[in-house]
Structure 1
Amino acid sequence: MGCSNLSYCSVMLLILLVFLAKAPAIQSWGKEGHFITCKIAQPLLSKAAAKAVQELLPSSAEGDLASVCSWADTVRFKYRWASPLHYINTPGVCNYKYSRDCHNDKGEQDMCVAGAINNYTAQLITYMDSSSEGTYNLTESLMFLSHFVGDIHQPLHVGFADDEGGNTIPLRWFRRKSNLHKVWDFDIIDEAEKDFFNRDVTTMIEDLQRNITEGWSDEVPAWEKCARNAIACPDGYASEGISLACKWAYKDVTADIVLEDDYFLTRLPIVEKRLAQGGVRLAAILNRIFDSNFVMGGSVQSS
């Protein structure tokens, strides 16, 4: 609908801009990062898991898990309660403890990305339980889980509370204004696509897939496994994340610094491996949820 009263429209636009400025920042891989993670995961699903995923995906996805892996960000205003589920804050220390760190700003326990992964994993396990039919919206559970597994692999999703995972550390990325969190969400991936992959995300995905089957092949079995045959093990992913945040993301960064090639080239391998780990682990979790053959074995097998 058009707006015939320009003064009224100007006031409404100003109100909207103020509202958006005050809205809480969502900490998340950028859309590209989630797309990459889910594109890596889907070919690694077993036949049983692939079938379940196809049945649960919304029709608009047309069978492509990656197309809905940013959905959890698009509903952040509709589901405000879910905002703290995208991240974990530690009290300025380089270690993670679930009991200390997994809560929202009201102190409600389990309201963090690790708690969310546990919760949506438990919901999806009811997929074949007819007595639980209708208890959960399993399509949303799948989309939330796929997103949050990606999120927990972004190192600054397990960052410091004081700077909101780097969101309040302003800096310049080459010549552009940015902040530390945005550098890890968007800028490093965008720069890699531009410099090394001719701005083609598919080429970047193919390169990561080659590394999974070749360069990182000896590490992949350990990525897939969970202690005590758990279906998902987000505490381990979170511990990795805060360690990487301290060693690589925060290291040598101060407010208003200019980050250029040295930071980019030394941090890109960390980002690439975390994208790959997120995809491999998402596949492993979905395989263990939907395929009983994977519950004890804990290994990803391609369909």
Structure 2
Amino acid sequence: MKKILLNLILLFALLSFNFGYSWGTTGHRVVAEIAENHLSGHAKRQLKKIIGKQKLAYWANWPDLVKSDTTGVWKPTEKWHYVNITPQTNQKVFTDSLIAQAGPNLYTQIKTLSVQIKDPKTPKKDKEIALRFLIHLVGDLAQPLHVGRAEDLGGNKIKLKFFGENTNLHSLWDSKLVDSQKYSYSEYAQVLDVRSKEENRQIQSGTLEDWFFDSHKMANRIYSQTAAGTSYAYDYNYKFQPLLERQLLYGGLRLAKILNEVL
């Protein structure tokens, strides 16, 4: 019995560590649930052929879970979850820097996976894996610090406190800020997904590069308004809840656009 309990504790600790790399279970599922609400009929039928009856939210965290695999098969995919860019305010300079970065990274892999899914010659099993990653990585794109800065590892080196607990800027945005809202993923998706069709179309407009610059601008805003070593609580939530919810909604709507196009 003690051995079983110890194994469960170790498993929980390992999974908790991995969730620190991106939105966390709730955030990724919110993005996936919103995306599912905006899929075309054709996209839904194609998805059913590839991943069956499971909802997108079911697979939303799988690319983080496989980081616990001990075979090393998925080790190269760890770099897919982010791209680091020197702070930029000029979109052309940013885009040039983004395209020039050696891959694989978040930008190159969203493009690569989209091509794989769209290609009719891609085997079904490969399409399924590509879909699992794409669902997750577009969610990562919406988390601004995944388009953050190399010198602090996307905020991981910026230490602070949130409601008295030691954390860092990246982890705060990955999970703690989302979890502090106290919604289930389906509840959060429901309360956020209330824009008009015209507003949704506007959010979905632009190129992938535009979306990366959008997240980068939000990251710059977060950096400028968060001080290392500070203890935050309700004040930080008050300041950033609108931005947090914007990113979750934008991630879901933009994921839907990509899936409708590639499927």
Do 1:26 and 1:86's aligned partners in 2 also have CA atoms closer than 8 Å? no
Q: Which of 176, 200, 212 is the aligned partner of 2:165? A: 176
Do 1:29 and 1:184's aligned partners in 2 also have CA atoms closer than 8 Å? yes
Code of the aligned partner of 1:246: N
Q: Which of 224, 238, 243 is the aligned partner of 1:251? A: 224
Q: Distance in 2 between matches of 1:85 and 1:251?
A: 26
Q: Distance in 2 between matches of 1:281 and 1:92?
A: 23
Q: Does 2:39 align with 1:42? A: no
Q: Does 139-148 or 68-77 show the bigger shift?
A: 68-77
Aligned to 1:156: 145
With over 3 angstroms needed to count, the CA separation of the structure-2 counterparts of 1:82 and 1:99, relative to structure 1, is farther
Where relative contact order (Cα < 8 A, 6+ residues apart) is larger, the structure is 2
Q: Distance in 2 between matches of 1:286 and 1:25?
A: 24
Code of the aligned partner of 1:224: Q
Larger radius of gyration: 1
Q: Which of 115, 126, 141 is the aligned partner of 2:108? A: 115
Q: Distance in 1 between matches of 2:99 and 2:22?
A: 17
Q: Distance in 2 between matches of 1:113 and 1:181?
A: 16
Q: Distance in 2 between matches of 1:86 and 1:267?
A: 23
Cα displacement string for residues 112-171 of structure 1 (whole angstroms, at most 9, x for unaligned residues): 111111000000111xx2xx2439700001111111111001011111111011111111
Code of the aligned partner of 1:118: K
Q: Which of 209, 214, 236 is the aligned partner of 1:240? A: 214
Q: Which of 64, 76, 86 is the aligned partner of 1:73? A: 64
Aligned to 1:203: 187
With over 3 angstroms needed to count, the CA separation of the structure-2 counterparts of 1:135 and 1:204, relative to structure 1, is closer
Q: Which segments of 5 or more consecutive residues in structure 1 lack a partner in the other structure?
A: 4-8, 10-15, 194-198, 227-232, 291-303
Cα displacement string for residues 185-208 of structure 1 (whole angstroms, at most 9, x for unaligned residues): 111111112xxxxx4333222101
Q: Percent identity?
A: 28
Aligned to 1:90: 85
Cα root mean square deviation, aligned = 2.8
Q: Secondary structure at the match of 1:246?
A: helix
Do 2:43 and 2:260's aligned partners in 1 also have CA atoms closer than 8 Å? yes
More helix by share: 2
Q: TM-score of the superposition, structure 2-length normalised?
A: 0.84
Shift of 1:271: 1.0
Q: Does 25-34 or 255-264 show the bigger shift?
A: 25-34
With over 3 angstroms needed to count, the CA separation of the structure-2 counterparts of 1:200 and 1:73, relative to structure 1, is closer
Code of the aligned partner of 2:193: Q
Q: Which of 32, 44, 51 is the aligned partner of 2:45? A: 51
Q: Secondary structure at the match of 1:90?
A: coil
Say how many residue pairs are matched.
249
Code of the aligned partner of 1:270: L
Q: Does 2:262 align with 1:289? A: yes
With over 3 angstroms needed to count, the CA separation of the structure-2 counterparts of 1:177 and 1:47, relative to structure 1, is same
Cα displacement string for residues 89-123 of structure 1 (whole angstroms, at most 9, x for unaligned residues): 113445673553468xxx7x232111111000000
Do 1:102 and 1:111's aligned partners in 2 also have CA atoms closer than 8 Å? no
Q: Secondary structure at the match of 2:153?
A: coil
Q: Distance in 2 between matches of 1:258 and 1:97?
A: 32
